[in-house]
Homo-oligomer: A and B are copies of this chain.
Amino acid sequence: MKKIYLDHVATNPLHPEVLDAMLPYFKELYGNPLSLYEPGVKAREAIENARESTADLINAKAKEIIFTASGAESNNFALKGIGYALQNKGKHIIVSKVEHHSILNSARFLEKQGFAVTYLPVDNHGLVDPAAVEKAVTDETILISVIHASPEIGTIQSIADIGKIAKAKGIFFHTDAVASVGNIPVDVQALNVDLMTFAAHQFYGPKGAAALYVREGTRIVPLIYGGIQEGGRRAGTENVPAIVGMGKAAEITKRDLQKRIDHVTPLRDKIISSALKIDKVILTGHPHQRLPGHASFVVEYIEGEAMLLMLAFKGIYSASGSACSSKALKSSPVLISIGVPVHLAQGSVVFTLGEGTTEADINYFNE
């Protein structure tokens, strides 16, 4: 049976060049990067080269990249790290209602520690209104965090506009760009962000490697204390092969990004137009301000889970929403936020395309 992987937003296969770049660091170059002898020094150099490539992909400086182990870690780090660093200045944070659980649950944790959090609503396409951000700001606001692109509904937020407001008000601005970096051009200068989360396995890099971009001069309290790794801001023996893999994946992504976009966009449009011909199928998220490889729907009278199993039976691998909650069996808060009724939110299905997706795949799928 043909197998078609349409869950690129959950994770991606490793690019073969990435694995090749990683392998020496599993073998002879295993030294601790903090050591003074040759194999350690080589590991250190490899990390710094990876930092350059990773920074380059998002138009940042190398020293503004802190390597972490996952997007979830970067998101927790951003919220709690800025929260603790600036709590004497103010204890109010603004997030949207369509954030990933790692943001929403970090915000709830901070509420328990005495912070106030505003959860901004979105429109039916999942968009945060920049004017609503401006209105929510108080004298106590120290951080705004809005997701760049939704893994569940594909909508791309107007981050640059929100960033402009944050900048004018002198408030730090973080975006969770896990679903966008690698899929669309992302430039931290153009977006006006001070902090940004992104993860390597979203752009054909390894699992276990992610980063938090932190604009130069931004004070942040570590989430993981310990040794002097990452400038004392994120402790733990560096996962050298994974970091090297992230650097290589960033380099390849910078080279291939436009090709990837040109490849998946027409295939996505084909899926959407075919699906919408079926009765009781509704597109979720924004009709065009959405990720190029992302098609998401709700289907009436059917459970997402049942639909996925049916599709898997035909060799089509897809998701009903965020992988991180796929087994939680709750209606997605994102779908509820865009006004999908609870009974419909259960019938959610998400198809996400990648480099390896072919026209033939989509034709098979459309049959």
Contact = CB atoms under 8 A, between A and B. Distances in A.
Contact of A225 (B10, B76, B235, B309): B76
B237 A70 contact: yes
Interface in A310-360: 312, 317-319, 322-328
A237 B36 contact: no
Contacts of A108: 225
Interface residues of A, number: 72
A71 interface: yes
A11 interface: yes
Interface centre among A69, A76, A318 (most CB of B within 10 A): A69
A252 interface: no
Nearest to A69: B69
A13 interface: yes
A226 to B, nearest CB: 3
Contact of A227 (B221, B242, B323): B323
Given A228-B324, A324-B228, A324-B229, A69 B36 contact: no
Given A30-B11, A312-B37, A226 B101 contact: yes
A10 B32 contact: yes
Contacts of A327: 34, 228
A35 B102 contact: no
Given A69-B239, A317-B31, A225 B102 contact: yes
A34 B324 contact: yes
A236 interface: yes
Interface in A95-133: 100-102, 105-106, 108-109, 113
A201 to B, nearest CB: 6
Contact of A73 (B19, B69, B71, B322): B69
Contacts of A106: 225
B236 A323 contact: no
A14 B238 CA distance: 15
A38 B314 CA distance: 12
Contact of A240 (B113, B207, B241, B319): B207
Contacts of A109: 221, 225
Nearest to A23: B19
Given A34-B323, A317-B35, A323-B32, A102 B224 contact: yes
12 contacts: A7-B31, A7-B37, A10-B237, A13-B27, A34-B324, A36-B309, A69-B69, A70-B237, A113-B113, A223-B223, A237-B324, A239-B242
Given A34-B326, A69-B236, 20 more contacts: A7-B31, A10-B35, A10-B40, A14-B27, A35-B319, A36-B305, A36-B326, A69-B70, A69-B208, A71-B236, A72-B236, A101-B226, A101-B227, A102-B224, A102-B236, A109-B225, A113-B113, A208-B239, A226-B324, A228-B324
4 nearest A-B pairs in the assembled complex, by CB-CB distance: A227-B324, A70-B236, A102-B226, A208-B239
